[in-house]
Amino acid sequence: MFAGVKVLDLSRGVAGPLTSMMLAEFGADVIFVEHPRSKDESRVWPPFKGGLSAYYATNNRSKRTIAVDMKRPEGLEVILDLARGADVVMQNFTPGAADRLGVGYEAIRAINPRVIYHSVSGYGQTGPDRGKRGYDPVLQAGSGFMSITGEKGRTPVKSMAPVADVSTGIYGFAAIQGALYYRERTGEGQHIDLAMFDIMVSMLSVIGSRYLLTGKVPERHGTENPQRVPSAAFKCADGVYLQAVPGQRQWPDFCRLLGHPEWIEDERFATPYARVAHEEVLYPLVHEAMLAKPAAQWRQEFDDHAIVCGPINDLKAVFEHPQTIARGMIQSYEAPGVGEMPALNLPWKMSKTPPSIRRPPPRFGEHTVEILKEIGRTDEAISALIQAGVVADMVPHAQVGPAQ
């Protein structure tokens, strides 16, 4: 889908690298930039296999890499030469830092007017918090996301999955696709200013809209959905929890299966609005009724009556699930010096342009010489840059695991 698109990725962490990994697995040539001495910090984050960090590998497979010190004049010249030929330039520096380094939007646009320049930051390029650094847990907290996550009457809960990072990566992927399409139609590039804070606020979705309409600050509801009752995790006779969401059309069958047909005509429970208004009465009744049978029996009976339900799986159950396997969500690739590495697949199933893992995550400095030659550097010039420490070539055991 993106064959022929060149991406220069100056970002690090999760959000930016996740975006560029998705572009790479749809065919873009992504060059990932690291510092020749400090390297990308995610290379040393556990767990490891053969010195290869799973954290680093998850977000950086299918790319090429170059190690260059852009604070050195010769290094900056390399970056600018790469930017001249790039369709997309990405960075996630704190606002203002890219300009000071000489790789801000105006500097890149001056040498490449058609460039799509993708800036990712915690709080955006404008506003009173623009200079603050943003990390996933802080953004989950500050956006209100944590305030609505957790059990009633308990402390706020952070999602273990890095929701702010991953959603920013996905939104970035969408924004770059849109910008590429716009450029195809108009010939014009543009600056994408993507703030993790903005994304997390946007993801409040109907909960945020509900507050804007009513002015009522929502409370935490655990597994319950305060706008759709009953919808929660219910403990069954065998101690297993089942998340059940009966809709209005299934409500009569749900009541009969639970042994309470009288609820069907009970004016407190007869309509979705009535059930929401009387949730404090209804939920204890449903919880008690669900204790009558084991989860597997409930699931079969609910499935037979088209009542939506599902178990709360741990990750072992998820990755052994026939649906996960059938959908090809678990992939693997061979990493040099490491062997077979398992990987999560991207979720898009496309009949003409499916994504695929194009290459293993690059070893440190693996493509430095190759990339420098592509922008016209001679062997002598490359050797001089390496000797001066401006760039770094691949070193032995270059996965840079914990021993390094």
Give the integer Cα–Cα distance in Å for 319 and 42.
Answer: 24
CA Rg, the chain, in Å? 26
| In contact, 72 and 80? CB cutoff 8 Å | no
185 CB-side CA count, 13 A: 6
For this structure, is 379 an active site residue? Answer: no
Give the integer Cα–Cα distance in Å for 402 and 34.
Answer: 18
Give the integer Cα–Cα distance in Å for 285 and 222.
Answer: 18
Q: Which two three-digit tokens encode residue 147?
A: 């305030």
Beta bridge pairs of residue 331? 343
From the candidates 40, 165, 198, 393, which is the catalytic residue? 165
What residues contact 3, with CB distance under 8 A and at least 6 apart? 27, 28
- The structure tokens 């297993």 sit at 240
Buried-exposed string 149-178: b where 16+ CB fall within 10 A, e elsewhere: bbeeeeeebbeeebbbbbbbbbbbbebbee
- The structure tokens 């799973």 sit at 54
Give the integer Cα–Cα distance in Å for 118 and 175.
Answer: 9
- The structure tokens 């004049």 sit at 73
Beta bridge pairs of residue 392? 67
- The structure tokens 């989950």 sit at 140
Active-site residue list? 165
